[in-house]
């Protein structure tokens, strides 16, 4: 039953991705100022939104782990698996943002990169979560999960700074298309529809990958626990 639901969800996600691609490339008009290159927005911005939400998942997972680690082992492990899944899938989406942004910038601004507030804070956010994943990969011992959870909590503090950066400091990156000054937002209904479909499609894809990553981590935890129990029994 679980496999059937996941399979149906995967099919719906692929259908949404195809529809989103069609809307972005063939239905939405060119931007009046930037022309065709503006279409990068249909996967650059949704990828950033998914990354932010998944870093929030990692934050709540980390808080959950720190809350339950002494009292409820199972809940703590579940929370830790969500924290890891959120951080890892968030890094994948954040990498997409950091790679597609410069491609857009090269055509729109004439430069690949600049140390502007939005770009720099996003790079710092990516570095924080890459260090979180490296800590989980290479640190050993029972304190690893606790250290990772603390880093997960502090790392998430950069998310609101990234979100607000192009509101607080007006540098190279454009002002927010949504939620910015009065009058901001897409005016063309076809552009708005393409943006909405792509947002939905990328969130559907992100959730699909997040659930897979969570399940892989739970399996890994269960295997590691059984191994530890067997080793303990052999020593007794």
Partner 1 sequence: MSQADILDHQFVTAAYIITWVLQLGYLAWLGLKWRSEKRNAEQRQKRG
Residues that bind partner 1 (CB under 8 A): 35-37, 39-40, 43-44, 47, 89, 92, 95-96, 99-100, 103-104, 106-107, 205, 209, 212-213, 215-216, 219-220, 222-223, 226-227, 230
**Of residues 188 and 227, the one with the C-beta less far from partner 1:** 227
**Of residues 66 and 88, the one with the C-beta less far from partner 1:** 88
Q: Which contiguous run of DSSP H or E holds residue 47? A: helix 41-68
The minimum distance between CB 11 and partner 1, in angstroms, equals 15
Each residue of 186-204: b (16+ CB within 10 Å) or e?
beeeebeebbebbbbbbbb
| Backbone angles phi and psi of 101, in degrees to 5 | -60, -55
The minimum distance between CB 138 and partner 1, in angstroms, equals 17
**Of residues 169 and 203, the one with the C-beta less far from partner 1:** 203
The minimum distance between CB 232 and partner 1, in angstroms, equals 14
The minimum distance between CB 104 and partner 1, in angstroms, equals 7
| Backbone angles phi and psi of 54, in degrees to 5 | -75, -30
**Of residues 89 and 117, the one with the C-beta less far from partner 1:** 89
The minimum distance between CB 219 and partner 1, in angstroms, equals 4
CB count within 10 Å of CB 154 equals: 13
Each residue of 21-37: b (16+ CB within 10 Å) or e?
bebbeeebeebeeeeee
CB count within 10 Å of CB 216 equals: 14
Spatial separation of the C-alpha atoms in residues 153 and 149, rounded to whole Å: 6
**Of residues 188 and 230, the one with the C-beta less far from partner 1:** 230
């Amino acid at each position: 039953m679980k496999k059937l639901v996941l399979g149906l969800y995967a099919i719906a996600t692929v259908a949404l991705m195809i529809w989103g691609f069609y809307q972005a490339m063939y239905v939405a008009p060119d931007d009046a100022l930037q022309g065709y290159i503006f279409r990068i927005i249909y996967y650059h911005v949704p990828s950033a939104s998914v990354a932010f939400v998944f870093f929030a998942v990692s934050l709540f997972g980390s808080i959950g782990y720190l809350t339950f680690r002494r009292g409820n082992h199972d809940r703590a492990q579940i929370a830790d698996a969500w924290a890891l899944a959120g951080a890892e899938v968030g890094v994948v989406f954040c990498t997409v943002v950091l790679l597609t942004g410069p491609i857009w910038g090269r055509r729109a601004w004439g430069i690949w990169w600049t140390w502007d507030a939005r770009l720099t804070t996003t790079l710092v956010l990516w570095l924080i979560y890459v260090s979180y994943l490296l800590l989980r990969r290479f640190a050993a011992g029972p304190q690893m999960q606790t250290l990772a959870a603390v880093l997960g909590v502090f790392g998430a503090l950069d998310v609101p700074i990234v979100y607000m950066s192009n509101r607080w400091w007006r540098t190279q990156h454009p002002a927010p298309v949504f939620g910015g000054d009065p009058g901001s937002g897409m005016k063309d209904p076809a552009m708005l529809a393409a943006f909405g479909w792509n947002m939905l499609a990328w969130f559907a894809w992100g959730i699909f990958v997040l659930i897979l990553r969570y399940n892989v981590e739970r399996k890994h935890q269960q295997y590691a626990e059984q191994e530890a129990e067997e080793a303990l029994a052999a020593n007794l």
